[in-house]
Structure 1
Amino acid sequence: MTATAPSVTVRAWRDLDPQARDLPGMSLGTIPVTPRAPQVDQLWDLGVRHAELDAVVDLSSDDAAAHRGVVDRLCLVRDLTARAVSVDWDLRLSPQESTHQWKVLSHLQPPRTLTGLDGAEEALHAWRTRHYLCKLVWRQGPGFVQIRDRRWGDLRRFTAEEPRYSEAIALLSPGTHHSDVPADVLEEFTAEHLVLRVGDLACWLPYRVSRWLQEAMAV
């Protein structure tokens, strides 16, 4: 069961430099977005190199009707991060989980503002200064899925060879009701902080890299 996604929009520009964005022809206006990886590819093809989300990603909300929009925007930030597209977004954490929650999300591009926890300025500074691409990524090979996690300072690598893991990732990537995913697989992913729960929805946190910081030196 997948809920119908509400409308999400971004303001978009052809350059991430604030001064360059003011030049004629650099603004791409407001673009409606379906937060799925193919849509992000289309944004890239349009020339989008900087985007601004239309609403706060509010993980503190108890409103079940709002959870779909929260997950959609979070998935959009994830997929834009994978494309190395600069994103302006604002994050409000859940008070009950805020101390740990920002670290779980620290592989994403740092938000413009961070609220919902004590020491928010210090946490945001740490996020900005320690962030780099490929901090939490996954890849699919022939007959296996591998996740590489560097959010905690060391490399943690997980490899799964059973098809049900890749099937679960396909369900979780856009965000889905937690009951759609086998309970034991969801429990394993959650224990490693690879999934975020927002109400009854669960979404996949690692991203597949589609743009590298530098060209490969060898094949």
Structure 2
Amino acid sequence: MSGLPTAVPHRLTGRRVDVPGPLDLGGQGRRTAEAVRFLRECAGLGLRVSWRAQGRPSYDLRALRHLPPPTELPGCHEDLASWRSGHGYGTLYHRRGPGFVTVMDRREPGAAARLTLDHPDLLAAFDRLLDPTPLAALDPTGREAAGLLAAERLALVSGGWAVALPPRIRRWPVPCTAI
């Protein structure tokens, strides 16, 4: 068992994951949310992923810069080049504490942000969005929290679905002083 979500067919060999079919990044619903969750979990485990993208994203791809870049991103050559050059392990991650989550965000060059999610509603929404979730399944407070997380680029909300973006790092190359 790889510990990776099963919604995306894949083959794990050592520290490498191969995804045989393209992953939908178009942002039109559950398939995109599942693809993002799969890539987030791979990133958290420090796995190398070989995958292709399909669909023209309806959102800012820079939000995904912390995830392993695809080998192909049809019709988005500049976005792919930017993704590859800006990608790095540990540029976005979260750590858990008792009653809070700390997020470190270094996706933008020259800028770093450390956020602490400790409000119970925000923390509950973050935890819920670790699994792809339809917005319609959230109560009004949950939808508001999902919107706040999306505004901070900590969740992708698109096509009526939402998913949290920061992986929980399980391999730790980040200096402990950077937490």
The answer to whether TM tops 0.5 is yes
The alignment covers a number of residue pairs equal to: 169
Matched, 1:8 2:13: no
- CA displacement at 1:95 relative to structure 2: 5.2
Q: TM-score, normalised by structure 1?
A: 0.68
Amino acid at match of 1:105: L
Q: CA deviation at 1:204?
A: 0.6
2:98 paired with 1:142:
yes
CA distance in 2, matches of 1:150, 1:173: 20
Which of the two has higher C-alpha Rg? 1
The structure-2 alpha-carbon separation of the partners of 1:196 and 1:82, relative to structure 1 and needing over 3 Å to count, comes to same
Contact 1:8–1:69, Cα closer than 8 Å, also in 2: no
Can you give the 5+ residue segments of structure 2 that lack an aligned partner in the other structure? none
Indicate the structure whose relative CO is greater, using CA pairs within 8 Å and at least 6 residues apart.
Answer: 2
Q: Cα–Cα, structure 1 residues 57 and 11, in superposed 2: closer, same or farther, change >3 Å?
A: same
Q: 1:199 aligns with which of 111, 134, 159?
A: 159
What corresponds to 1:173 in structure 2? 130
Q: Which residue of 2 aligns with 1:42?
A: none
Secondary structure in 1 aligned to 2:9? strand
Contact 1:6 1:69 survives alignment (8 Å):
no
Q: Which amino acid aligns with 1:53?
A: V
Q: Give, as a single letter, the amino acid of the residue that structure 2 aligns with 1:133.
A: Y
What's the counterpart of residue 44 of structure 2?
Answer: 82
Deviation string for 1:117-164 (max 9, x for gaps)?
3xx1x3323322332111111112123222111112210121122222
Cα deviation for residue 12 of structure 1 reads 2.5
Residue 59 of structure 1 corresponds to which residue in structure 2? 25
Residues 24-173 of structure 1 correspond to what in structure 2 (within 5 A)? Answer: 49-60=15-26, 62=28, 67-94=29-56, 96-97=58-59, 101-117=60-76, 120=77, 122-153=78-109, 154-173=111-130
Q: Give the unaligned 5+ runs of structure 1.
A: 15-48
Deviation at 1:170, TM superposition (A): 1.7
What is the TM-score of this pair, normalised by structure 2? 0.81
Cα RMSD over matched residues? 2.5
Percentage identity across aligned positions?
Answer: 29
